Amino acid sequence: MTDDQCHTVVKLVKALHPYTPKRVPNSSGSGTSPPTANAAAMIRIVLLSNHILRYTGYTEFTRRFAPAPSVASLHPVPLGAAGIYDTLCWKTANNFDIYDLNRQPISSVATATKQKDAVFSNFFDLNAINEMCQKYKLRFKQRLTFVNRYTIRILGEVIPEGVDRGGGAPVMSVLDESRKRRCPNRNIATNGSGAAGDDE
């Protein structure tokens, strides 16, 4: 790099520094960790990057940092074991007490995450959910998506082709497809596509 190029890079770094997310102390207290990757922590650099990309004609690379609300659109709420615990069981008035399969209380998000089947069985008929998933050749993975008061999506992964799956195949598995987008290098055994069922 030439001196002029180095000088330009230094000016850009100094100009962008106030907008970059700050590192945070790690749990051990002996150093720092990268900032949390969420909209609140990244909003300044995202807004700045979006403006630059729009002004330079690269609008296809801009990032949406929040859903655009509208009367005609729905924004489903994903619910795993931790989400159900936070929503229904947190220590506030009128929330639920739930128990594991040994009738011991589940009293933290960490415990709920380790005992997902137990959390779901406190509120849902897991036999009915598993039967519905089986119809679509899926295996329930303790994930639901709340769409509205009439519709809850049950998410699962495709059962690998073989005796357990039987004939036919699902159309698509929403859970598997989202994992592929997040981790393109991760191999997920689908052996064809699969479909998530809706419980209405």
CA distance to 58, 74, 75, 146, per residue, from 149 (Å): 40, 12, 13, 8
Q: What gap in Å lies between CA 158 and CA 169, rounded to an integer?
A: 9
For the ranges 26-35, 50-59, 140-149, 179-188, which has the lowest average pLDDT?
179-188
Report whether 110 contacts 119 (CB < 8 A).
no
Residue with tokens 């509205």: 148
- pLDDT tens-digit readout, 157-189: 887 766 566 665 555 566 666 666 666 554 443
- Inform me whether the pLDDT recorded for 200 exceeds 50: no
pLDDT mean over 85-101? 83
Report whether 63 contacts 50 (CB < 8 A).
yes
H/E segment holding residue 106: strand 105-106
Q: What is the pLDDT of residue 192?
A: 34
pTM over 0.75: no
Q: What is the DSSP string of 139-200?
A: EEEEEEEEEETTEEEEEEEEPPSSTTT-SS--S--HHHHHHHHH-TT-----SS----EEE-
pLDDT mean over 71-81? 78
What's the mean pLDDT when you consider all of the chain? 78
Report whether 158 contacts 170 (CB < 8 A).
yes
Q: What is the pLDDT of residue 119?
A: 92
Would you tell me how many other CB atoms lie within 10 Å of the CB of residue 176? 21
Q: What is the DSSP string of 22-81?
A: PPEE-TTSSSEEPPP-SHHHHHHHHHHHHHHHHHTT-GGG----S----TT----EEE-H
Q: What is the pLDDT of residue 189?
A: 39
Q: What gap in Å lies between CA 35 and CA 37, rounded to an integer?
A: 6
Q: What is the pLDDT of residue 64?
A: 78
Q: What is the pLDDT of residue 176?
A: 65
pLDDT mean over 111-119? 91
SS3 12: helix
Cβ contacts of 12 within 8 Å, gap of 6 or more: none
H/E segment holding residue 138: strand 138-148
